[in-house]
Amino acid sequence: MESNGTAGNDGLEGDADLQFLLVGGELVKIRSSSWKKNRFFKLQEDCKTFWHESHKTFRRNQTFSIDDIDSVRRGRQSEGLNKHTEPTVEEKCFSIIFKGRKKNLDLMAASGGEAKQWVNGLEKIISNMRNLSPQQKSEHWIINCMRKADKNGDDKMTLKEVKHFLRQINVEVDDTYAEEIFKKSDKSNSGTLEGSEIKDFYNLLTHREEVDVIFAKYAKTEGQMSVRDLQTFLLNEQREPATIEDAQKLIEKYELDEKAKQNKRMSKDGFLMYLHQEDGSILNPAHKHVYQDMHQPLNHYYISSSHNTYLMEDQLKGPSSTEAYIKALMKSCRCVELDCWDGANGEPVIFHGHTLTSKVIFRDVIKAIKDYAFKTSEYPVILSLENHCTLDQQKLMAHHLISILGDALVTKPLGNKMPTNFPSPEELKGKFLIKGKRLNKLEAFFNNNNTVEEDTVSEDDEAADCKENGQKAKPKKSKIKLAKQLSDIVIYCKSVHFNGFEHAKENQEFYEMSSLKESKAFNLAETSATAFTHHNMDKLSRIYPAGTRTDSSNYNPVPMWNVGCQIVALNFQTACKEMDLNQGRFLPNGFCGYILKPEFQRNLSSQFDPNALTNGPWLKRKTFHVMVISAQQLPKINKDKHKSIVDPLVRVEIHGVPGDIDSQETRHIDNNGFNPMWNQRFEFEIHVPELVMVRFVVEDYDSTSQNDHIGQYCLPLTSVQNGYRHIPLLTKRGDVITSAGLFVHLMLIDAQ
């Protein structure tokens, strides 16, 4: 297995930065101002695992996988380094940010040059790992498991080691089957597998019967697919309007065998490659990039939005952090919330009022937002201010916003006359909008009566909720004084109290928006859905979770999107089904945080009501056929239970208007996470396809307790491709599980 020492690091052999990491070196690990200790770090030979010494008695050696790293940041860019080091060591510092909940690793090298080498080396390996093809990832994963199973490290595998290895990769095979593949592969009859025999073993093991069947049906040309064969497959099975040129391109793109490629043929390996890459994926490749019209008014889009963005965990005692803003923005969240209170030393702070959550300095949050807002998406970011500060600190807030965000902050209406509706995401690229209270109408900009210095305004709904704290008798609307400087930078998102749709229609300007608590919003969506949808055709609505959700759980965003609400704010820090739906909703259109609403939610003549499916352009009855065929390389859930192999089942969920809610699941398969086969068919009747989200969930069946979650994938029905498709699987936190996947056949057809 030596040849795979740098598996997947082709092009990096002999690279100076890579060699530097393989040798390793001392770094200072920083936990606090007083806890700074030297630790040795190095990259393991597999170029995939990092080792560092640990002084905890029970953990002499600690490792983490390159797969676990989310990103590497040069300089004092993490909260810890910012707090616990001096600006003078800026260039020696760097941080490793992990996926999920693992704490950042804050490190300091001996010199700026060394820090640069660590960061360059890490970034090269990470991007190399991410660019591997699924085939390579899968081999990589398997070879890695083999290395772990090769107990005595002699690069040979005995039958006993092979059985151990099969358990590692999540296959419970009976001894005779294991012996059978072992014997077939042990061509030299040496009693161990070595070199190419291991590769043969891998091939026998990963052989996919279900793909053989499909391939055989269309490979009509000497056991391979000609261009014409492939075109027939694309037309018949994949329901793609494919031309001969399209088929030819796929062969050039995916065929691995040079001879087949020259003959314009696709071999079975090439076909498998195609099924695993983006053309064979469930997500329409045309939707991976921004494909929607981005020139419509801002309120015509669903906008990915976060609630209490500063929290890393729960609402009562969790830590507040600039890190939480960075994580949300990197997930292309486009509306973040800032709860502002008076802080010590005259500097406003952000935290969850009246609770034990820790505080972060307002200025630091704005800096972090400025640095990370447009890394994943260039479309505008709305800063939703919940302001509890006194006048002096409000003036400082305005000062920080203006001085830190500079030209990127929208401080006056676009154009030189009073606007009558919103600018588009396209016009607002790279810009920040402030959502908050305003002392006067926007017209004041154009008619010079801008004289109000400061005045009282009623507190925003959510800010007032925060004070109520469950008292039954509603206190009078609390008033707060508002500084002119802060009021003046609220342009397109002025917060006003909601007094019903009729009142809003007559009195509310397009730029005046209300925030509604989930309970009130759900009630309105049930009782006056059409009015709610119409309200959202020219105004923005923001919905937020109830204050009683102290565990930061989330409500279901789908009913809110069904009535056209744009800013459906969720607790991004909480991994849950509701966040899966949110990630899925914003997955297409280049994952840019904006999705154009269906035409019937934008057109004023529309009488759409999600609860009563009357005839209209929204009603397009479809039948969605789903066949769950198989899964590949599902991860082990219980790493500790050495013997525990998963018993997987798949659930297909449909989320949409009330008439389009359904879910069906396969039987579970005992002891096979490696290549379980179900071949089960489901059928779903769909009425309003443009609002449907489809979610695939894989669980580990447990007869005695709740099933364990293995992975899931969610996307809008409008972005689903028909035919034989591969579905990647994501962890609870939304990261891709390398090499795991589902294989399905899908067909969305007009209902009879």
46 is in an annotated binding site: yes
**Does residue 616 fall inside a structural domain?**
no
**Does residue 729 fall inside a structural domain?**
yes
152 is in an annotated binding site: no
Helix (H, G, I), strand (E, B) or coil at 56: strand
**Does residue 290 fall inside a structural domain?**
no
Domain holding 152: CATH number? 1.10.238.10
Residues 487 and 404 in one domain: yes
Regarding predicted confidence, which is higher, 228 or 182?
Answer: 228
| pLDDT at residue 9 is higher than 80 | no
Residues 6+ away with beta carbon under 8 Å from 243: 231
Among 570, 601, 632, the domain boundary falls at 601
Q: Name the average pLDDT for the chain.
A: 88
Residues 127 and 139 in one domain: no
pLDDT digits (tens, 9 = 90+) for 349-369: 998 877 777 889 999 999 999
547 vs 690: CA distance, rounded Å: 32
Residue 3 pLDDT grade (very low, low, confident, very high; cuts 50, 70, 90): very low
pLDDT digits (tens, 9 = 90+) for 153-202: 777 888 888 877 777 776 666 667 778 888 888 888 888 888 778 778 87
Residues 400 and 512 in one domain: yes
Regarding predicted confidence, which is higher, 348 or 153?
Answer: 348
69 is in an annotated binding site: no
Residues 449 and 554 in one domain: yes
Say how far residue 203 (Cα) sits from the centre of its chain.
Answer: 33
Tokens of 561: 């999107």
602 is in an annotated binding site: no
In degrees, rounded to 5, the angle at the alpha carbon of residue 699 between the alpha carbons of residues 695 and 702 is 145
**Does residue 606 fall inside a structural domain?**
no
List the one residue out of 147, 141, 194 whose CA is nearest residue 169.
Answer: 141
pLDDT digits (tens, 9 = 90+) for 503-516: 999 999 999 999 99
The answer to whether 84 is a known catalytic residue is no
Among 86, 102, 131, the domain boundary falls at 131
| 682 and 625 Cβ atoms separated by less than 8 Å | yes
598 vs 423: CA distance, rounded Å: 19
Phi, psi of 65 (to 5 degrees): -90, 150
Regarding predicted confidence, which is higher, 690 or 734?
Answer: 690
| pLDDT at residue 51 is higher than 60 | yes
pLDDT digits (tens, 9 = 90+) for 113-163: 999 999 999 999 888 887 776 667 666 667 667 777 777 777 788 888 887
| pLDDT at residue 61 is higher than 90 | no
Over residues 620-640, mean pLDDT: 87
Please give the share of the chain, as a percent, with pLDDT higher than 70.
90
Domain holding 443: CATH number? 3.20.20.190
Catalytic residue among 352, 388, 668, 745: 352
| 712 and 267 Cβ atoms separated by less than 8 Å | no
Tokens of 33: 């101002």
Q: What is the pairing mode between strands 648-655 and 662-665?
A: antiparallel
Q: What is the span of the domain harbouring residue 650?
A: 622-750
| 686 and 621 Cβ atoms separated by less than 8 Å | yes
70 is in an annotated binding site: no
Residue 474 pLDDT grade (very low, low, confident, very high; cuts 50, 70, 90): very low
Instruction: Tell me whether residue 500 is exposed, middle or buried, using C-beta atoms within 10 angstroms of its C-beta: 0 to 12, 13 to 18, 19 or more.
Output: exposed
User: What's residue 472's pLDDT?
Assistant: 39
739 vs 8: CA distance, rounded Å: 14
The answer to whether 207 is a known catalytic residue is no
Domain holding 54: CATH number? 2.30.29.30
Residues 434 and 504 in one domain: yes
645 vs 641: CA distance, rounded Å: 9
Among the listed ranges 312-326, 327-341, 480-494, which one has the minimum average pLDDT value? 312-326
52 is in an annotated binding site: yes
User: What's residue 468's pLDDT?
Assistant: 44
User: What's residue 500's pLDDT?
Assistant: 95
Provide the phi-psi class of 138: left if phi over 0, else alpha when psi is between -120 and 50, else beta: alpha
For helices 196-205 and 175-185, angle between their N-to-C axes, nearest 10 degrees: 140
User: What's residue 461's pLDDT?
Assistant: 61
Q: Give residue for tokens 């807002």.
A: 373
**Does residue 608 fall inside a structural domain?**
no
| 557 and 541 Cβ atoms separated by less than 8 Å | no
| pLDDT at residue 370 is higher than 60 | yes
Q: Give residue for tokens 């945080």.
A: 593
User: What's residue 540's pLDDT?
Assistant: 97
Residues 406 and 504 in one domain: yes
Residues 334 and 244 in one domain: no
**Does residue 561 fall inside a structural domain?**
yes
User: What's residue 8's pLDDT?
Assistant: 43
Residue 640 pLDDT grade (very low, low, confident, very high; cuts 50, 70, 90): low
**Does residue 238 fall inside a structural domain?**
yes
Helical (H) or strand (E) element with 270? helix 268-276
Please give the share of the chain, as a percent, with pLDDT higher than 90.
62
375 is in an annotated binding site: no
List 385's β-bridge partners, or say none: 338
532 is in an annotated binding site: no
42 is in an annotated binding site: yes
Instruction: Tell me whether residue 258 is exposed, middle or buried, using C-beta atoms within 10 angstroms of its C-beta: 0 to 12, 13 to 18, 19 or more.
Output: exposed
91 vs 115: CA distance, rounded Å: 7
Tokens of 323: 């890190």
Q: What is the pairing mode between strands 301-306 and 567-570?
A: parallel
Residues 542 and 558 in one domain: yes
Instruction: Tell me whether residue 216 is exposed, middle or buried, using C-beta atoms within 10 angstroms of its C-beta: 0 to 12, 13 to 18, 19 or more.
Output: exposed
Residue 1 pLDDT grade (very low, low, confident, very high; cuts 50, 70, 90): very low
Over residues 324-349, mean pLDDT: 93
Regarding predicted confidence, which is higher, 617 or 636?
Answer: 617
What total of structural domains would you count in the chain?
A: 5
Among 176, 205, 234, the domain boundary falls at 205
40 is in an annotated binding site: yes
227 vs 236: CA distance, rounded Å: 14
User: What's residue 538's pLDDT?
Assistant: 93
Angstrom CA distances, 192 to 444, 538, 661, stand at 84, 72, 54
**Does residue 735 fall inside a structural domain?**
yes
User: What's residue 611's pLDDT?
Assistant: 94
| pLDDT at residue 465 is higher than 70 | no
Residues 744 and 639 in one domain: yes
Catalytic residue among 84, 140, 276, 307: 307
| 734 and 668 Cβ atoms separated by less than 8 Å | no
Angstrom CA distances, 409 to 155, 454, 584, 627, 713, stand at 60, 22, 29, 50, 36
Residues 407 and 550 in one domain: yes
| pLDDT at residue 2 is higher than 60 | no
Residues 248 and 361 in one domain: no
DSSP character at residue 613: -
305 vs 515: CA distance, rounded Å: 13
Residues 364 and 444 in one domain: yes
DSSP-assigned states of every residue in 370-429: HHHTTSS--S-EEEEEEE---HHHHHHHHHHHHHHHGGGB--S-SSSS--SSPPPTTTTT
For helices 209-218 and 227-236, angle between their N-to-C axes, nearest 10 degrees: 110
| pLDDT at residue 488 is higher than 70 | yes
29 is in an annotated binding site: yes
496 vs 458: CA distance, rounded Å: 9
